Structure 1
Amino acid sequence: MNNSFFTRKYIIQGIFITTALLIVIRLFYIQIIDDSYILSANNNVLRKVIVYPARGAILDRNGEILVQNEPIYDLLVTPREAKDIDTLLLCELIGIDKKGYIQRIEKAKAHSPYRASQFEKQLSSTTYARLQEHLYKFRGFYVQNRTVRSYPDSIAAQFLGYIQEVNQRDIDRSDGFYRPGDYIGATGVERAYEDLLRGKRGIKNQMVDALNRPQGSFMDGKYDTLAVTGDGMISSLDKNLQILAERLMKNKLGSVVAIEPSTGEILTMVSSPTYDPNLMVGRELGNNYMDLLNNENKPMFIRPIQASYPPGSIFKVVAALTAQQAGMIDAQTRFTCNGGYRYGGGRGLMRCTGVHGTIDLARSIQVSCNPYYANVFARMIDSRGMSGPQAYDLWREALMKFGLGSTLGIDLPGEKPGLVPTSSYYTKIYGSGKWRSSFNISLSIGQGELGITPLQMANITAIVANRGFYYRPHLIKGIGDQKIVKPEFTEKISAGVDAKYYEAVIEGMSRVVNQGGSGRAVAIEGIEMCGKTGTVQNPHGENHAVFFAFAPRENPKIAIAVFVENAGYGGTWAAPIASMLVEKYIRDTISLPKYLQDRIYNGDLRPKPKKPAAPANSALNKPVDSQTQQQEPAALLVHHSQRPRRS
């Protein structure tokens, strides 16, 4: 009996001793060995702060800053911890009222009572400095640093784009990268290169006391992760040229695109009217965005890549080149101009602004002869031993090699393809496939259903400057410290016309500027600029003015296209703008007569206030989305009763 008692006694003691040892060992492990339990135990005094990386800066081609970062501060709140708050003081410090305070707290509670969320975003440095002195009074509130974009010169808004807060769709598509309150590139380069510009966020474990005051990093930052700054970008833009181009296009609607032919790098890209990109930063972004969106002149519309216009007489350059390659004409081919071209059995008449007599190819470019190119088109469609639709398909295929009717692949979102209608479109219109050149003769001089973007116009000029090829136009020439160039921008693309066919066309373009052509007023002494003016019909107001050119003739440095809406003749408005930009880029001077410069700088070509809107399909030659054109191309028809003009 006694033995049994002592046995049970020792067993019980052993159990207690073993249990005590296990508890001591476990406590030792938790407190000394395993740091994760320390982290858990100290959750009430630890704050995990997201460290947002600075977005990569964007420079111009010469290293000048186009976009940089400046600090801002978001005020965050954890609703459960927000007790005994002096709401009037907080409201005064950050510039809100009591109603705004209540709305923000309720929104934070709906998000989560236990997790921090934004209370007020994008506080300025001045506001933050004022708040910081009193922050310890507001338990549950703390400030998170981040950066926003700043544009020192307030230029290139449509090219650079802007950033905005992510929406749920952005979050869902990001595979967990974005969280509510993050920012993302919305348009322009910011959008196109978002994955590289945004960088990688970090985490900082910060100790705070009961009064919400920072007490330093936990474990000397052992568990922190560093933020990684986004990749910097070297753009192809020339800042000084961009500033001048925007100044020249002030109070005008239209586009300027200039390309370096040897690389495809875009030197300047203006969409006018433009806006100050700094308007898209800060707490007024939403209001500013709506003001811009509702502006009748559409400053948010990126005309160089989204507006589609009939090209007018500059199209004759492409017509001359493709006809030579097809063997329909050569440099010596002559046609006679008696002041007009009759077609459709004499029922239709395409007029010319002069009587040029019998002229060759170079002369036809110089004087921009309409009948010459009507004859060229007739040969291309009617004289190839096949049906009109079959011949037209070959003609269209040749145009598409020049980058028409499709996107060029610029590194900007939202590029439109323009429009080169298919033969099936005309077959449907005319009810059979027996149509000939007389049915769409207006195409011969760049009118009718053709739609070309200003970027495509500039690219055509670069092709001519290069005598037959181009590089895909692009806006970023170097990424990151290694200055990486995307491989698609180094590909040499043929336009399908042999180099030997370009000289006669280039000679004609040189004469336009340098030997008494329609661009003679903008010739640059010492620089042989080769160009072509155009005047695009607009039955709803003044015609559109267009000019494209490259310079110098040998080893060209710049190819440029200028399109000014409602400006009249190309030689009057578009050509002087191009001339000043070409000379500025090549030798950093402008020698155009002062009276011409003043007329351009001070000219206001904005449309007068609109009368009640006309039906949508009456907007014949206004810039339109090319997708709309494809749906309603009949709206762009040039009828026999219209008189095509020479530029």
Structure 2
Amino acid sequence: MNNFFERRYVIQGIFICMAVALLGRLFYIQLVDDQYTVSANRNVKKTFILFPSRGEIFDRKGKVLVQNEPVYDIMVTPREVKPFDTLKLCQLLGIDKAGVEKRLRKALIYSRSLASAFEKQLPLKSYTAFSELSYEFPGFVGVQRSVRTYPDSVAAQFLGFIDEVTDNDIKKSHGYYKRGDYIGRTGVEKAYEDSLRGQRGVKTALVDSKGVVKEKFLNGLEDTAMVAGDPLISSLDIDIQKLGEKLMKNKVGSIVAIEPSTGEILCFVSSPGYDPNLMVGRERGNNAAELYKNPYNPFFIRPIQAYYPPGSSFKPLDALIALQSGLIKPQTTFTCTGIYWAGNQGVHCDEVHGVCDLSRAIAQSCNTYFDNVFEKLMNVNGPKSIESTFADWRAKVNKFGFGVRLGVDMPHEKWGNVPTNAQYDKRFGVNRWRSSSIISLGIGQGELLATPLQLANIECIIANHGYYYKPHLIKSIGNRAVIKKDFTQKISVGIDDQYFEPVINGMQQVVERGTAAASRIPGIVMCGKTGTAQNPHGKNHSIFVAFAPRDHPRIAIAVVVENAGQGAWWAAPIASYIVEKYLRDSLTSRASGKTPQWIMDQNLLPALKTDVAAAKQKAVADSVKSVKKDSIKQIKSAARGNKHNQQQLVAIQFRRKENE
């Protein structure tokens, strides 16, 4: 009997322990461990990330440059995937079985429980077909995104492009960006990424057992609103941008136009360019690979990255420094005999200009005059003091924006080059160089290099009689008209107002009856300067800089056409049509007879090195064949009576076959 009661207590104890254990486990599951809560929630509610549209970009007149188009990414969470019809998924998404397996492996490597992109940028039609059958593919869900689209397919290098974030981008953002997000990679898209990207939103919804959304969770109490990116109003004028890109078709070079009174960039052409629509969509990778193969490098942003000797376009700058220093006056004359001797080094002019004052020297682009000016600048403190004198001159040139970054609101702007004392000490030896050693700087050659943006900015300085505003690409962000304070501040170059008129007189004569007379615009007073920049790698570069109209200038411009010869031949007529289009919104004929259409039709692409090498090889081969044919003819003639020569003929023909 006692044993019975003892066993009963033992059994009761076991049941009590089991109950306590179960209650403890239940307490742990419900109040301590949230694993099952999370799992349960996954079965009834789902969180969706709402990706904002990037801000649109407009030109200065409100015309759309960049807008958005909805696309869909198919995301996959590996732990939620169940057996599915692979063939059907392939048909819906337009991929093959191997592609499905590859994508699933990649998703598993990333995370079993986190969603990652399975297939990107599906158009609406393809996504609609998938969404109707999405319940057959548990673990797969569509997420709406947007891609850029460019209605006019212009200004690719100006606008830049977006790209999927890298691990480094994610790290730098301190967690803001997630895998599969997009970021501005170049151009305005990169410079104004923080404004354009917007703010992600979150939506939580109740779903059924098949994952189909039924209703909002808690009436949207946990949701956060998506905020679209801010629109940008750019300074670009789409009409002259389009014209500029057409005029530069099949040419290498750049056009930069700026509004002198504000520093706003009106035209930003980098040629060759590309259709920005190629950098969006599912074929983006293939298109980008092809563009990278292009030997003329369409991704190179020439307005702010390409270096050119400014050539004669630099001459007005040196004249202004000399006027301010009191070394010359507008009436100062020098006699040009067609050559200027700097020691034993001769600098040639295109013609004998005779006696020239400042305005005539600018109008006729007289090298002799400006070499004399440069020599005065370098020897003002005596030839032996050139080190300090040159350093002072260099600092004054830097004030004009040469050899420094102008601070344009675009990444990867280059400095250009104004040589330093150290460069010349290394080249010639300390205290072993004089003005004659560096005389080419006086006419914008030698080691002096500038970007097209810097060249255009010089014209703003001359047009404004001694100051400029930092060149910039964006007028406003959203409703904010002023974006950066330093874009509204005048930057003085330290030259008095009175010294600009004689320089401007000469620049007006350049267009009225000087080197650019053939590009004069009827009814518009344009002041300009041609430049023919020496190029050690081939034909000279054609350069033209200008502003117009003379009174109350509205546009300053620089045009560079690589390997195109004199500035008057190509750069000047291109610039004149851009200026006229901007000021009048129409085009008239020119004395040169070069119409816009004629310029568009001309192919001035420089010959590639491989093409030159191939041409040389062909010429050598043709020459060898010609020699062989002549030799055979001579031997045949002599062989008629000479058995030895007949044998020689046979041997030559045999060797010829072997070579062929």
Q: Structure 2 counterpart of 1:263, which letter? A: T
**Structure 1 position 513 matched with structure 2 position 511:** yes
Corresponding position of 2:553: 556
Matched to 1:480, the amino acid is: G
CA drift of 1:424 comes to 1.7
Amino acid of the residue matched to residue 459 of structure 2?
T
Does the 8 Å contact 2:43/2:208 carry over to 1? Answer: no
Give the whole-Å Cα distance in 2 for the aligned partners of 1:37 and 1:55. 38
Alignment-derived partner of residue 176 in structure 2: 177
In the alignment, what sits opposite 1:352? 349
Which residue pairs with 1:620 in the alignment?
none
CA shift at 1:592, angstroms? 2.5
Residue of structure 2 equivalent to 1:271: 270
State the shift of 1:611 in Å. 2.9
Give 1:608 shift.
Answer: 2.4
The match for 1:7 is none
Task: Give identity over the alignment, percent.
Answer: 55
Q: Aligned to 2:409, which of 408, 411, 418?
A: 411
Distance 1:518 1:598 in 2: 23
Find the partner of 1:497 among 472, 492, 495: 495
Deviation at 1:92, TM superposition (A): 0.8
Aligned mates of 2:79, 2:155 — CA distance in 1: 45
Work out whether residues 522 and 592 of structure 1, in 8 Å CA contact, stay in contact via their aligned partners in 2: no
Letter of the 1:198 partner, please give it. R
The 8 Å contact of residues 75 and 118 in structure 2, kept in 1 or not, is answered as: yes
Distance 1:571 1:181 in 2: 51
> Displacement of 1:542 after TM fit?
1.8
Query: What whole-Å deviation, never above 9, does each CA across 1:203-231 have from its counterpart, x for those lacking one?
Result: 11122212221212211211000111111
1:261-340 aligned within 5 A: 261-340=260-339
What corresponds to 1:611 in structure 2? Answer: 610
Aligned position for 2:464: 466
Give the partner amino acid of 1:71: P
If the length of structure 2 is used for normalisation, what is the TM-score? 0.86
Q: Give 1:477's aligned amino acid.
A: K
SS, match of residue 578 in structure 2: helix
Task: Write the distance in 2 (CA, Å) between the matches of 1:360 and 1:40.
Answer: 89
Structure 2 CA distance for aligned equivalents of residues 154 and 536 of structure 1: 31
Aligned match of 1:533 in 530, 553, 563? 530
Unpaired runs of 5+ residues, structure 2, are 1-15, 614-660
Amino acid at match of 1:511: Q
SS in 2 for 1:388: helix
State the match for 2:445 in structure 1. Answer: 447
Deviation at 1:36, TM superposition (A): 13
Is 2:380 aligned against 1:383? yes
Report the alpha carbon displacement of residue 612 of structure 1 after superposing the two structures with TM.
7.8
Aligned to 1:156: 155
Q: Report the equivalent of 2:110.
A: 111
More helix per residue = 2
CA distance in 2, matches of 1:147, 1:322: 53
Q: How does 1:390-405 map to 2 (within 5 A)?
A: 390-405=388-403
1:41 is displaced (CA, Å) by 3.9
**Do 1:458 and 1:548's aligned partners in 2 also have CA atoms closer than 8 Å?**
yes
Task: Tell me the CA shift for residue 353 of structure 1.
Answer: 1.0
Could you tell me which residue of structure 1 aligns to residue 654 of structure 2? none
- Whole-angstrom CA distance in 1 between matches of 2:35 and 2:200: 22
Aligned partner of 1:73 in structure 2 is 72
Bigger radius of gyration = 2
Tell me the residue number matched to 2:91. Answer: 92
Q: CA contact under 8 A between 1:387 and 1:434: conserved in structure 2?
A: no
- Name the TM-score, length of structure 1 as normaliser: 0.88
Counterpart selection for 1:364 from 361, 366, 379: 361
Supply the distance in 2 between the matched residues of 1:443 and 1:112 (Cα, whole angstroms): 61
CA RMSD, Structure 1 to Structure 2 (Å)? 2.1
* 2:393 match: secondary structure: helix
Instruction: Tell me by how many angstroms 1:115 deviates.
Output: 2.1
The equivalent of 1:580 in structure 2 is 577
Deviations 1:220-247 (A, max 9, x none): 2110001111111100000111111101
SS of alignment partner, residue 42 of structure 1: helix
Q: CA deviation at 1:137?
A: 1.2
Q: Is the CA contact 1:77–1:108 (under 8 Å) kept in the aligned structure 2?
A: yes
- Segments ≥4 residues shifted beyond 6 Å: 35-40
* Deviation for aligned residue 1:38: 7.8
Could you tell me which residue of structure 1 aligns to residue 540 of structure 2?
A: 543
Residues 93 and 41 of structure 1, relative CA distance in 2, 3 Å threshold:
closer
Contact 1:48 1:204 in 2 (8 A): yes
Counterpart of 1:522 (choices 519, 523, 530) is 519
Take 2:300 and 2:584, find their aligned partners in 1: how far apart are those partners?
A: 32
The count of aligned residue pairs is 586
Identify if the C-alpha distance between structure 1 residues 357 and 441 changes in structure 2 by more than 3 Å, giving closer, same or farther: same
Amino acid at match of 2:226: A
Counterpart residue number, 1:421: 419
Which runs of 5 or more residues in structure 1 are unaligned?
A: 1-15, 615-647
Contact residue 573 and residue 594 of structure 2 kept, 8 A: no
Q: CA deviation at 1:485?
A: 2.3
Contact 1:55 1:199 (8 Å CA) reproduced = yes
Q: Would you say the 8 A contact 2:255–2:557 is kept in 1?
A: yes
Partners of 1:538 and 1:91 lie apart in 2 by: 55
Mapped partners of 1:297, 1:552: distance in 2: 35
1:240 aligned residue? 239
Secondary structure of the corresponding residue to residue 441 of structure 2:
helix
For residues 330 and 394 of structure 1, what CA distance do their matches in structure 2 show? 20
User: Equivalent residue of 1:458, what SS?
Assistant: helix
Deviations 1:598-634 (A, max 9, x none): 33111110122423899xxxxxxxxxxxxxxxxxxxx
Task: Report SS of the residue matched to 1:387.
Answer: helix
Assess if the C-alpha contact under 8 Å between 1:374 and 1:445 holds in 2: yes
Q: Equivalents in 2 of 1:98, 1:184: separation in Å? A: 31
Q: Is the 8 A contact 1:388 1:434 kept in 2?
A: no
Question: Equivalents in 2 of 1:539, 1:433: separation in Å?
Answer: 28
Contact 1:75 1:142 in 2 (8 A): yes
- Post-superposition CA distance 1:460-488 (Å, at most 9, x none): 00100001000000000101123332112
What secondary structure sits across from 1:146 in the alignment? strand
Residue type matched to 2:79 in 1?
Answer: R
- For the residues of structure 2 that align with 1:343 and 1:121, how far apart are their CA atoms? 65
- Separation in 2 of the partners of 1:195 and 1:539? 43
Deviations 1:499-545 (A, max 9, x none): 1110000000000001x101101111211000000111124322110
Per-residue CA deviations over 1:567-617 (Å, capped at 9, x if unaligned) read: 111111000110001011011111134643333111110122423899xxx
Q: Secondary structure at the match of 2:595?
A: helix
Shift in alpha-carbon separation, 1:382–1:570, aligned structure 2, 3 A:
same
Note the C-alpha offset of 1:266. Answer: 0.1
Contact 2:526 2:550 in 1 (8 A): yes
How is 1:224-235 mapped onto 2 (pairs within 5 angstroms)?
Answer: 224-235=223-234
Alpha-carbon spacing, 1:330–1:197, altered in 2? closer, same or farther (3 Å): same
Please, which of 539, 562, 565 is the counterpart of residue 562 of structure 2?
565
1:12-67 CA-to-partner distances (Å, cap 9, x unmatched) read xxxx9xx99xx9xx99xx99xxx999877422222111101111111100011101
Could you say what secondary structure the match of 1:563 adopts?
Answer: strand
